[in-house]
Each structure stands twice: as structure tokens, then as C-alpha cells.
Amino acid sequence: MNKDRLLSASLVLFIIIFFIESGNIPEKAASQTFGSAFYPRILLAILGFLTILLIVKSFILKRSEGKKETSSEHTSYKAYIYVVSLFVITGIYIYLIGLVGFLVSTFIYLIASQIILIGLKRKKHLVISITSSLVIAFSVYFIFENYLNILLP
């Protein structure tokens, strides 16, 4: 639980610094409903709420030491492999966007990340990964192109 408290303290410091810095974002233009700082402040408020929940949880829950620690150490090693793998495929994704475009690279990235995190235990998992990757990639592309008027590579 000390790790949760340390993380919570770090997040509180992060939230305070970024909330103060969000005051440096220019005010809203006449055509904007909300200022440019609105969205970052909403995200900081959500992060603050979740941090408070983490603080409360760290004081309420008592964790038994001993046998669970050894299993969590093994799990955390496995989690490090997942994190490193995701960083590698994210770097490949960023490189591929310029070469093959948003749709193809996002589709490949989503499938690769789902394979790393979920695995391919059955054919059903592959079908679900391909379907969800297609839907997400095309949905994001459609929303950005048609509603937000932002051209994607």
C-alpha cells in the first residue's frame, strides 16, 4: 500500500503543477464555446478524483504480506514485458503512420497490441481482434475527417 500512497502523492503534485500551468493556455476565441484550457482541466479533475479514490483505498484496504508478494513479483515481471512490448510496437506504429497512413498502421497497431495483451488462445480471439481493430480504426478516421475536419495521414 505504500506504493499506492507514493503514487498518489506524485499524482497530486503532477495535478497541481499542470493545473497551474493550464492557466498559461490562451483564453477562448470568439468562435469557441469553451477555452482551450477546458479539456486539460477536465482531464486533471478526473485524474484528481481517481487519485483521491486511490488514497482512500490505500488507507482502507490492508494487504497481507508473505505469499502474495512472491506471486505479485512474478506478475510484475510479466507486466514489464508487456509494457516494453507495447512501447516497441508504439514506436513502430509512429514510424508506420508516415509510410502507410493512418488507417493501415492503426489497424496493425491495434491487432498487435491486442495480441500482446490478450493472446491468441483461440480463433475467436483473432476474429474479435480483427473486427474491433477495423471498427476502431475506421471510426476514428471517420470522426476526425468528417466531424472534426482534421486530416489524418
Angle 114-132-137 from CA coordinates, rounded to 5°: 95
pLDDT digits (tens, 9 = 90+) for 19-57: 888 888 877 776 667 777 788 888 899 999 999 988 888
- Is the whole model's pTM more than 0.85, yes or no? no
pLDDT digits (tens, 9 = 90+) for 94-138: 999 989 999 999 999 999 999 888 877 888 888 888 999 999 999
CB atoms within 10 A of CB 69: 10
Angle 66-67-68 from CA coordinates, rounded to 5°: 95
Q: How far lies 57's CA from each of 14, 47, 78, in Å? A: 20, 15, 25
